A = this chain, B = another copy of it.
Amino acid sequence: MTSEGSGTTEDSGEVLYGAVDLGGSHIGLALGTVDPAAGEYRLIARRNLEGGGYEGWAPVLDQIAEGILELGREVGARAAAVGLGCPGWVDTEKGETRFLPNLPTRWRDVPVARILGERLEAPVHLLNDVRAATLGEFTLGAGRGTSTMALFALGTGIGGGVVVDGKLRLGPLGSAGELGHQTVDPNGPLCGCGNRGCLEAVASGPAVAGTGVRLLRSGQAPALFELTGGDAGLVTAETMGEAARAGDEAVKRELERIARLVGIAVANVVVAIHPELIVLGGGVAGLGDLLFDGVRQELAERVRVFPIDDVRVEPAVLGTDAGLAGVLVWTASFGSSSP
């Protein structure tokens, strides 16, 4: 079976799935195959669309459907089922978005699975995007071979996900796993969610950058000044890391402070579920040992109630593909039956 419409790839006969990573500024589309038991996946064709969507969800879904169909024409096969990672709360059973806070029109109660399903003539499955990334890393990435793990996605916001005894914890509307909204500093800075002292408020990309700008403007970061030419717009977790390695002591110490706050959040997850693995991903995790050393030290200092030699803290390995990869796993988990 190699004809268009077969739902299998031309070469191997593996089932072909569509995967969509729906973001505010960009939308990733892919066709791919996945073998969860082997921990392997392959993205066969991909395409990026611009996000935006101030005109509402209808034209965005149009673009997505057209894009998936075009990818199918490119590879000469069509997707047997399609999954969407969505930035917010979705009813996975009904295949409807409930509230996507980062998209301009919020996508309240949009029957995405039905609309796309009709266009694509295939079952469509929704999942929160960071839960998808968690499933991706768990099944195909850093978590292969483990049973219980948590992921912290340290980006512009801080998302996460929890897998307990082999099963992704979804919770109502896929909302469980919001590890960035643990309170790590009860009287700390205001978070975007409205709480004070969330991990996101002290260790997200913007929090790291804000710390860097303070050091830059107060004359405490000569290497960072040189790297950025004094331009606050160029201060990021990445340039902070470079500055620390180039000798900025204040930058290094502040990054350690931030790492230790991540370590508190990690420790709180560890005492609660005692996972085998904590995965750190996102731009801030790109700091490497400047982050991981502090996290591991704090974890060891905080968790004394039981031995934690068996708890690893490791970087994510799938990078920005984690979401698409996880969507493949999610979609494949339904078989090729309708949702």
Contact = CB atoms under 8 A, between A and B. Distances in A.
A50 interface: no
Interface stretch (A7-15, A106-114, A221-229, A270-278): A270-278
Which bucket holds chain A's interface residue count?
A: 35 or more
B272 A177 contact: yes
A55 interface: no
Interface string A140-181: 000000001010000000001010110101011101111111
A194 B306 CA distance: 11
Nearest to A276: B172
A181 B269 contact: no
Nearest to A88: B306
A60 interface: no
A231 interface: no
A157 to B, nearest CB: 10
Interface string A94-113: 00000000000000000000
Given A175-B274, A268-B182, A195 B301 contact: yes
Given A186-B185, A264-B183, A173 B271 contact: no
Contacts of A148: 169, 171
A306 B271 contact: no
A89 B306 contact: yes
A302 to B, nearest CB: 5
B273 A162 contact: yes
B272 A176 contact: yes
Nearest to A164: B164
Interface string A191-206: 0011100000000000
A89 B172 CA distance: 32
Contact of A310 (B172, B185, B267, B306): B172
A184 interface: yes
Given A164-B273, A180-B305, A182-B267, 15 more contacts: A150-B272, A160-B272, A164-B164, A165-B169, A171-B273, A172-B274, A175-B274, A181-B271, A181-B303, A181-B304, A195-B301, A195-B304, A268-B268, A272-B272, A272-B273
13 contacts: A89-B306, A165-B167, A172-B310, A175-B306, A176-B272, A179-B272, A181-B271, A183-B267, A194-B304, A195-B303, A195-B305, A268-B272, A269-B272
